[in-house]
């Protein structure tokens, strides 16, 4: 008999929301999944930061609007921990929310609406925990595009960072911003998926970014990709 495959450790989750019913509801819902462990909850951003530093979760469900320290500042502080910090999944009541855009700029890996279905929530947490980025092409890119228009002038440091990319890396960054997956980029450029993964890794490293969501924000804010407020997402 062959040895059984090792069981992956459960994804450790913290839920931060100032409304007790919402906080408890999400925690209980996530607790129904055998591959999740809710290790803590928080009622505001400051408590979220403290709990995360104490318990080292993999993923934080973070309400964007909370009294005192909001989800944006909490996300910024957790993202400052670098790759050792948890991935942040923002919770919001409506999609085209400048607070959500600011949270993505601060380091969040994606966002979900609070009326999300249970299966969508579970899938999102698994994607984020695996190091992916929650890029819903018709929502996240539209939000980034519209609010990036409010920051039309890239700063010198952003432009300098882009100049460090090779022409092919710049091309890959542009395609990431269009919402293409690695297999789609590989097909577009007629290269292997492994080659694309290497390019994506180098882009993130050179720009000091954690994931693809941050790459999309950077592509718009540096002017590499222009906002398309009136076109399709």
Domain extents in the chain: 11-134, 153-221
Cα distance between residue 17 and residue 112, in whole Å = 13
Helix axis angle, 71-79 to 98-106, nearest 10°? 10
Indicate the pLDDT class of residue 230, thresholds 50, 70 and 90: very low
Kindly report which listed range (23-32, 117-126, 157-166, 174-183) carries the lowest average pLDDT score: 157-166
What is the mean predicted confidence (pLDDT) over 102-111?
85
Same fold, 11-134 and 153-221: no
Residue-wise pLDDT tens digits, 5-17: 556 789 999 999 9
How many CA atoms, within 13 angstroms, populate the side-chain half-sphere of residue 160?
4
Indicate the pLDDT class of residue 4, thresholds 50, 70 and 90: low
CA angle, 72 then 77 then 80, to 5°: 125
Rounded to two decimals, what is the model's pTM?
Answer: 0.75
Please choose, from the candidates 41, 90, 48, 97, the residue with its C-alpha nearest in 3D space to the C-alpha of residue 68.
Answer: 48
Q: What is the pLDDT of residue 94?
A: 73
Q: What is the pLDDT of residue 136?
A: 53
What is the mean predicted confidence (pLDDT) over 116-140?
77
CATH number for the domain formed by residue range(s) 11-134: 3.40.50.2300
**Residues with Cβ < 8 Å from 130, sequence gap 6 or more?**
none
**Is 153-221 in CATH node 1.10.10.10?**
yes
Cα distance between residue 43 and residue 89, in whole Å = 16
Q: What is the pLDDT of residue 149?
A: 67
Cα distance between residue 16 and residue 155, in whole Å = 33
Cα distance between residue 174 and residue 26, in whole Å = 35
**Residues with Cβ < 8 Å from 146, sequence gap 6 or more?**
96, 227, 229
Indicate the pLDDT class of residue 181, thresholds 50, 70 and 90: confident
């Amino acid at each position: 008999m062959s040895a059984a495959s090792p069981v992956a450790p459960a994804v450790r989750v913290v839920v931060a929301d100032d409304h007790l019913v919402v906080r408890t509801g999400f925690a209980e819902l996530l607790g129904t999944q055998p591959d999740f462990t809710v290790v803590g909850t928080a009622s505001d951003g400051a408590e979220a930061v403290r709990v995360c530093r104490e318990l080292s979760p993999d993923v934080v469900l973070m309400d964007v609007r909370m009294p005192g320290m909001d989800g944006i500042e909490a996300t910024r502080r957790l993202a400052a921990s670098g790759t050792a910090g948890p991935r942040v999944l923002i919770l919001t009541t409506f999609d085209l929310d400048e607070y959500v855009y600011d949270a993505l700029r601060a380091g969040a890996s994606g966002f979900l609406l609070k009326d999300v279905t249970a299966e969508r929530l579970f899938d999102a947490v698994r994607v984020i925990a695996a190091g992916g980025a929650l890029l819903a092409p018709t929502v996240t890119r539209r939000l980034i595009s519209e609010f990036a228009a409010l920051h039309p002038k890239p700063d010198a440091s952003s432009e300098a960072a882009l100049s460090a990319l090779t022409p092919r890396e710049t091309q890959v960054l542009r395609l990431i911003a269009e919402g293409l997956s690695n297999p789609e980029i590989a097909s577009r450029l007629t290269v292997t998926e492994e080659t694309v993964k290497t390019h994506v890794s180098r882009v993130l490293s050179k720009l000091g970014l954690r994931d693809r969501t941050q790459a999309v924000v950077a592509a718009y804010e540096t002017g590499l990709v222009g906002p398309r407020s009136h076109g399709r997402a």
